[in-house]
Amino acid sequence: MNIIGIIPARMASSRFPGKPLAILNGIPLVGHVYLRSVMSHLLNDVYIATCDKEIVEYAKSISAKAVMTKSIHERASDRCAEAMQKIEKVSGKRNDIVVMIQGDEPMITPEMINLSVKPFFKDKNVLVSNLMAKILTREEHNDPNTVKVVVDSQNNALYFSREPIPSWKKGAANVPMMKQVCIIPFRRDFLLTFNRLKPKKLEEVESVDMLRVIEHGCKVRMVYSDFQTHSVDNIADLKKVEKLLKTDKLTKKYKSFSGGF
């Protein structure tokens, strides 16, 4: 299968303006995500999709492929869909799977990307998958920036929420508490279908894109990962991840830089 990774990134983040180029141990946030993503042996190519010239210039400085997209997109999946179609037009190749890799996950590993794609090889009915990982603290369970997920016996998502689910008061400490990890592969055609679907009330209330899939009667296959990561949503997260990356083994494998921010 022809599988590509797309990293959507924009400077106008409401919670953290300029986040993609925020520096982590001398390297911009989006640079960490890109350099770790290209290590996946299942990805034929990796692109940064953005509407900002600053990010395109940075991508050029590290020889990363960048695709300019419209500035009107509010959802990462919309930006990825536009980028994918532009990539296909230029390359002349049809993509089978598009892996959307969120640009605020600087601790992802190539193994996580590989894990997220495996369901597509095993089950032709899988349209979209997500990684999930254990929630280890009560603080994270209560954090609205952490998207919680509950699944059925086949690991299909039942519901996503920014609220603490399952209920702590009713025994959540005794059942697995899982969070969404934002590596999201789509089958090519379903990515386009997904973006044509009208968002419904639950997606709007929870501000979680994947609820659109469930609300329209489709399934999201969740894949368990025991890799511990931490996304960057604010300055405090940036400082925390900066400390964690100082002992990270993958950073030693980054290719050399030629300039950048």
* pLDDT per residue as tens digits for the range 33-78: 999 999 999 999 999 999 999 999 999 999 999 999 999 888 899 9
More confident residue, 23 or 16: 23
Would you say residue 238 lies in a domain?
A: no
Would you say residue 14 lies in a domain?
A: yes
Residue 232 pLDDT > 70: yes
Would you say residue 257 lies in a domain?
A: no
Which among 96, 97, 80 has a CA at the least distance from the CA of 67? 80
**CATH number of the structural domain spanning residue 115:** 3.90.550.10
Would you say residue 171 lies in a domain?
A: yes
The structure's pTM equals: 0.92
Task: Write the CA distances from 73 to 33, 77, 139, 194, integer angstroms.
Answer: 21, 9, 31, 14
Q: Tell me, rounded to whole angstroms, the distance of Cα 143 from its chain centroid.
A: 18
**CA–CA separation, 27 vs 23, rounded Å?**
5
Would you say residue 239 lies in a domain?
A: no
Inter-helix orientation angle 53-61/29-37, to 10°: 50
The type of residue at 107 is M
**pLDDT of res. 239:** 94
Would you say residue 154 lies in a domain?
A: yes
Contact of 168 with 154, CB cutoff 8 Å: no
**Total domains present in the chain:** 1
Which among 102, 94, 48 has a CA at the least distance from the CA of 210? 102
The residue range of the domain holding 49 is 3-228
Contact of 223 with 132, CB cutoff 8 Å: yes
Residue 210 pLDDT > 60: yes
Would you say residue 59 lies in a domain?
A: yes
Would you say residue 136 lies in a domain?
A: yes
The type of residue at 172 is A
Contact of 87 with 69, CB cutoff 8 Å: no
Residue 257 pLDDT > 60: no
Mean pLDDT, the chain, rounded, equals 92
